[in-house]
Amino acid sequence: MGVAKATSSSIAKPSAKAVRSWRVKRKLPLYLMLVPALIGLVLFHYYPMYGIVIAFQKYEPLLGFQKSPWVGFYQFELLFSQPDIWEMLRNTVTIAVGKITFGQVASLVFALLLHEVRIPWFKRTIQSLSYVLHFLSWVIFGGMLLDVLASQGIINNALAAIGLARLAFLTNASVFQPTMIFSEVWKEFGFGAVIFLAALTGIDPTLYEAAAVDGASRWKRMLHVTLPGIAPTIVLMVTLSLGGVLNAGFEQILVLYNPAVYATGDIIDTYVYRAGLLGLQFSLGAAVGLLKGIISLVLIALSYYLADRIANYRIF
Amino acid sequence: MKALKTKISRRAFLHGAALTTAGLAVAACTSATPTAAPTSAPKPAEPSATTAPTQAAEATTAPTEAVASSSADSMFPKGDPRRWLLDRPVPAPKKYDNLVITQNYDMNQGIKFNGNDTISDNVMSRYLKEEIGVYYEPKWACKGSETCPTAWSTAMAADDLPEFFTWLGGVNLGKLLDADRLEDITDIWETTASDLTKKNKEYPTGQIYVPITKGGRIYGIPFSNGGYAAHDSLLWVRQDWLDELGLKMPDTLDDLYNVAKAFKEKKQLTMGISAAGSEGMATWNSSLDPFFGAFGVMPTYWVKTGDGKLAYGSTLPGNTDALTVLANWFKEGLIEPEFVTKGAAKAAENLAGNKAGMYFAPSWSPGWPLPDSKKNDPKADWVSGRVPAGPTGQRGRAAFQVAGSTCAFLKGIDPIKIEAVINHLNWIYDMQAASVIGSHVKVEGIDYVEENGEVKAGIGTTAEFYEGGAGYPTWYYPAMEQMTDEKMNQLLKADPKTLNPYLLYTVNDPDGISTKTRAANSLKFQTMDDQIVNQFIGAPTATMTEAGARLEKIEREAYIKIITGGAPVSDWEKFVADWKSQGGDKITEEINAWWLSHQ
């Protein structure tokens, strides 16, 4: 752009049309490179959206979109006529917010601590170890947790050894939510730290040198150089994660919950799984999905707006 | 809820059956009926023959020749797998010219493939291509209770349907039938099915035709129940511990309690009985259904009441008595705190790890998981007993049913394919009828392998492959699958030298699996009155579909809370009121309308 402007002002003015064609020509390879991604986006994200219509139908898969009866907002009414809908909604939001908050904090703190480690091999080893769990599926990790958290499991044995009471992590309704939150954080904090670590490497080292020269301690340097340096990344991560406020972690809960903790562990997604998928009520599932999508969209837009207003930060 | 029950049962079976065969359970599967002295191991006189079939085979100078001398084998050429077990010739099956039928593979968890074999090209598919010229091509496949319900749902949603359905039941069957997507097979069935097949399939009067009948026409081949009671619970107890502690086989709930307490305390166990609580009260390993049976009720089962109508088992009086007992057991630590998180498969680890000395499970337990128990504790000696009696002498166990599952054909399928499947079925039944021990035909490479005249366990069982792996139009075997006294005695009297290695293995029973299973089966069939039968075998009703998930949740939650002490037993009343008001009453009406129309 800048180049084009400079050229046009100094020598004889070429027509606007010529400038435009020159610009397009120059950037054509870039546009072309964008095409596959665009096709993918349209094909896999926009095209399937027509399926949303089934949220307003009593969809019979074997009849198809055309022949399934139209029921308007019946599926939404059905969802909200469930006597325990608010309980499930509350569980969903509590668990999700807990995971977002503790997850982001844990990842950030871990990244900051790791950043201060000076021995490269030690740093690399710890970092690799920290995100190994991320690559285990919940089916496997959950199976391990069932044993680890059992009443005679390793954690309870440790608690008993130091004189504490054994906790029924997975069968006591009042402990279940923290168990979900901390097991998720345990599994994901290392991977979450990767982005923060990447942002940390982007901070200009001369800033640290300057701060050191001015007599700033390591703590002060972290506070005044490191944190402001990655503030945009933190804002970005928090903003993006707000869209997940209704995602409490379906896989994890499906693997770990049981009738004893329905009161605090049953979330919208597990209900949809039981009623929608196992009961072949696809319309109900679609209605919930649509609702979750709309709420997430509103939340993301809102947090984007707030980040712009309060932190004066724009992602795009 | 019925739908779920059916689903659980059938998946449970697949799982169970698969695991049964993990060891050398071929024998366990084929033996079933009473023998005169089930506990004394039947064996031929020769000491060398009692240890293992392989040694027996070696004892006879040339095993293959010994085999050839048996009348059963002379009818088939050497190398023909059928020569092992058939005692008379079977008419050749109708052979087709490379017929390809697409089918859903609802695979048994235990299915393993040899070497380079795959789901679409394996020992079973080659066998069927060769014998009957039919290839059951996998349209899609799923394995185990985790993936199959989802696989069905997505296939239904995407209209990705096979020409030939197996394990079709519950809500899927209902939807396909309602949408008119199944082919009417009445005429082809009438003309093609043999008399034996019709008899085994209880045609036309069997209750099993109820779910697939519409307007007097049948739309599928139902699985047959045949009173087989495949997964009915029996009590399994460590006899060696009973002896050690001077206890007797428990006969009543009180006995059961005393033994559980003694085991837990004296053997320093973490539980008195192994229990599984995450899949409801009745399941296929470490089940709790006999606790309810002892008070004459069965949660989730639709049972006949005094007025001739059907009522929901979880809402009948008697549940509170069973819940009181269970809550007490839990409080005293006789049921482990984790039982809520454990399904049947997970609870079975309690047995393998010898963490419990007692549990309720089907008669096939000696094949699985009990060999693992023995492996970890060679002294482990498990014996089966009848489900315990309650205070009034009442006993009861949840009757296992497959009725409600079926094979069916997609509308528009070439009729010759329907005919081929029925002819395949005819052939299977013919072979079963001619089998020396009333067993399904054994296929070399699947059920067994023969190396240098020695017979070893194969990769599984033919039945297992048929059930989920390759178009099996018959489930479950009729009574002939069960080893009869007569057949067993015939084998016992025979000169071991005239028996082929496979039969010798059955007779010798070196692992005790066959003998123990036969004893358990015998007990099971003598106590069929203990069965509590679910009378509803139709597709889920409209309200069941809409309110089912919710109702199942409040039921499981209430039962578990009461047992674990999170709520008083009196909360059961509240559950019943909720259940009724949140759709249960409407479901009961719908069920009784169905019941009335099927009398």
CATH of the domain at A93: 1.10.3720.10
Give residue B175's pLDDT: 84
Instruction: Judge whether residue B460 has pLDDT over 90.
Output: no
Give domain status of residue A23, yes or no. no
Task: Count CB atoms within 10 A of the CB of residue A160.
Answer: 13
Pure H helices in B201-318: 239-244, 253-266, 289-293
Amino acid letter, A154:
I
Give residue B217's pLDDT: 93
Instruction: Judge whether residue A163 has pLDDT over 50.
Output: yes
Interatomic CA distance for residues B101 and A293, integer angstroms: 41
Give domain status of residue A96, yes or no. yes
Give strand pairing partners of B444.
Answer: B448
B122-131 CB burial, b ≥16 within 10 A, e <16: bbbbebbbeb
Residue B356 DSSP class: -
Instruction: Judge whether residue A253 has pLDDT over 60.
Output: yes
Instruction: Judge whether residue B84 has pLDDT over 90.
Output: no
Instruction: Judge whether residue B207 has pLDDT over 60.
Output: yes
**Sign of the CA dihedral with B409 first, then B414, B416, and B420 last:** negative
**Max Cα separation, chain A?**
87
Task: Count CB atoms within 10 A of the CB of residue B528.
Answer: 12
Give the minimum alpha-carbon distance from B328 to chain A in angstroms, rounded to a whole number: 17
Instruction: Judge whether residue A189 has pLDDT over 90.
Output: yes
Give the best residue of B11, B153, B336, B544 to mutate against chain A (max A CB count within 10 A). B153
> B167: part of which helix (H) or strand (E)?
strand B164-169
pLDDT in tens, B328-381: 999 999 999 999 999 888 899 999 999 999 999 998 888 788 989 999 999 999
> B235: part of which helix (H) or strand (E)?
strand B234-238
Q: Using a CB-CB distance cutoff of 8 angstroms, which residues of chain B are in contact with residue A139?
A: 146
Task: Count CB atoms within 10 A of the CB of residue B368.
Answer: 27
Rounded (5°) CA angle B409-B415-B420 = 80
Mean pLDDT of B455-473: 62
How many Å separate Cα A131 from the centre of its chain?
16
Give the minimum alpha-carbon distance from A188 to chain B in angstroms, rounded to a whole number: 24
| Cβ pair A19, A1 in contact under 8 A | no
pLDDT in tens, A216-239: 898 999 999 999 989 888 888 888
Q: B548 and A62 in contact by Cβ < 8 A? A: no
Give domain status of residue A11, yes or no. no
Per DSSP (E only), the strands in B305-404 are 310-312, 358-361, 382-385, 397-398
User: Taking CA atoms, what residue in B is nearest to A78?
Assistant: B546
Radius of gyration, CA atoms only, chain A = 26
Minimum mean pLDDT range among A92-96, A304-308, B11-15, B363-367: B11-15
Task: Count CB atoms within 10 A of the CB of residue A152.
Answer: 14
Q: Which residues are within 8 A (CB) of A193 and not within 5 positions of it... i.e. 6 or more apart?
A: A107, A108, A110, A111, A114, A127, A130, A131
**Sign of the CA dihedral with B43 first, then B49, B51, and B55 last:** negative
Q: Which residues are within 8 A (CB) of B411 and not within 5 positions of it... i.e. 6 or more apart?
A: B180, B181, B182, B183
Give the minimum alpha-carbon distance from A147 to chain B in angstroms, rounded to a whole number: 10
> A157: part of which helix (H) or strand (E)?
helix A154-161
Instruction: List C-alpha distances in Å: B504 to A182, B46, B446, B494, B498.
Output: 57, 12, 18, 10, 9
Residue B86: band (very low, low, confident or very high) from pLDDT cuts 50, 70, 90: low
Give domain status of residue A14, yes or no. no
Residue B214: band (very low, low, confident or very high) from pLDDT cuts 50, 70, 90: confident
How buried is B573 (Cβ within 10 angstroms: 0-12 exposed, 13-18 middle, 19+ buried)? exposed
Instruction: Judge whether residue A171 has pLDDT over 60.
Output: yes
Residue B11: band (very low, low, confident or very high) from pLDDT cuts 50, 70, 90: very low
Give the minimum alpha-carbon distance from A309 to chain B in angstroms, rounded to a whole number: 44
For residues B49 and A313, which has the higher predicted lDDT (pLDDT)? Answer: A313
Which residue from B171, B172, B340 is facing A171, i.e. has the nearest CB?
Answer: B340
Interatomic CA distance for residues B185 and A149, integer angstroms: 54
Three-state DSSP class for residue B164: strand
Interatomic CA distance for residues A123 and B549, integer angstroms: 49
Give domain status of residue A111, yes or no. yes
Interatomic CA distance for residues B159 and B139, integer angstroms: 12
**Sign of the CA dihedral with B75 first, then B80, B84, and B89 last:** negative
Give residue B599's pLDDT: 66
Give domain status of residue A236, yes or no. yes
Give residue A183's pLDDT: 95
Residue B475: band (very low, low, confident or very high) from pLDDT cuts 50, 70, 90: very low
Interatomic CA distance for residues A104 and B460, integer angstroms: 49
Residue B144: band (very low, low, confident or very high) from pLDDT cuts 50, 70, 90: low
Residue count of chain B, please give it: 599
Phi, psi of B38 (to 5 degrees): -65, -25
Interatomic CA distance for residues A297 and A81, integer angstroms: 24
Instruction: Judge whether residue A102 has pLDDT over 70.
Output: yes
Pure H helices in B31-117: 47-51, 53-59, 63-69, 71-74
Q: A62 and B159 in contact by Cβ < 8 A? A: yes
- Using a pLDDT cut of 90, give the percent of chain A over it: 52
Give residue B312's pLDDT: 97
Three-state DSSP class for residue A57: strand
User: Taking CA atoms, what residue in B is nearest to A280?
Assistant: B153
Give residue B40's pLDDT: 29
Interatomic CA distance for residues A277 and A310, integer angstroms: 42
- Per the structure, the count of domains in chain A is 1
User: Taking CA atoms, what residue in B is nearest to A166?
Assistant: B337
Q: Which residues are within 8 A (CB) of A190 and not within 5 positions of it... i.e. 6 or more apart?
A: A107, A110, A127, A129, A130, A131, A132, A133, A134
Q: What DSSP string runs through B290-321? A: HHHHTTT--TT-EEE-TTS-EEEGGGSTTHHH
Give residue B302's pLDDT: 94
Across chain B, mean pLDDT equals: 78
Per DSSP (E only), the strands in A250-292 are none
Give residue B215's pLDDT: 86
Residue with tokens 């870039």: A30
Interatomic CA distance for residues B429 and B418, integer angstroms: 17
Amino acid letter, B582:
Q
Q: A259 and B270 in contact by Cβ < 8 A? A: no
Minimum mean pLDDT range among A299-303, B493-497, B555-559: B493-497
Phi-psi region of B354 (alpha: psi -120 to 50; beta: other; left: phi over 0): left
Which residue from B179, B341, B549 is facing A60, i.e. has the nearest CB?
Answer: B179
Give residue A63's pLDDT: 80
Residue with tokens 């069916």: B408
Structural domains in chain B, sorted by start: 99-228+402-434 (3.40.190.10), 234-388+540-597 (3.40.190.10)
Residue B223: closest CA among B57, B74, B403, B100:
B403
Q: Which pair of tokens denotes residue A204?
A: 């200009």
Give residue B19's pLDDT: 30
Task: Note down the domain range covering A252.
Answer: 85-265
Which residue from A63, A78, A263 is facing B546, i.e. has the nearest CB?
Answer: A78
Residue B593: band (very low, low, confident or very high) from pLDDT cuts 50, 70, 90: very high
Instruction: Judge whether residue B471 has pLDDT over 50.
Output: no
Give domain status of residue A157, yes or no. yes
Interatomic CA distance for residues B263 and B269, integer angstroms: 7
pLDDT in tens, B417-450: 999 999 988 888 887 777 766 566 667 777 777 7
Instruction: Judge whether residue B121 has pLDDT over 50.
Output: yes
Phi, psi of B406 (to 5 degrees): -160, 165
Task: Count CB atoms within 10 A of the CB of residue B452.
Answer: 9
Give the minimum alpha-carbon distance from B82 to chain A in angstroms, rounded to a whole number: 42
Q: Which pair of tokens denotes residue A115?
A: 């950043």
Q: Which residues are within 8 A (CB) of B568 and not within 5 positions of it... i.e. 6 or more apart?
A: B562
Q: B550 and A84 in contact by Cβ < 8 A? A: yes
For residues A41 and B28, which has the higher predicted lDDT (pLDDT)? Answer: A41
Three-state DSSP class for residue A23: helix
Q: B156 and A82 in contact by Cβ < 8 A? A: no
Interatomic CA distance for residues B134 and B418, integer angstroms: 11
Interatomic CA distance for residues A158 and A166, integer angstroms: 9
For residues B406 and A191, which has the higher predicted lDDT (pLDDT)? Answer: A191
Give domain status of residue A48, yes or no. no
Instruction: Judge whether residue A94 has pLDDT over 50.
Output: yes
B246-259 CB burial, b ≥16 within 10 A, e <16: ebeebeebebbbeb
Residue A315: band (very low, low, confident or very high) from pLDDT cuts 50, 70, 90: low
Q: A259 and B548 in contact by Cβ < 8 A? A: no
| Cβ pair B22, B474 in contact under 8 A | no
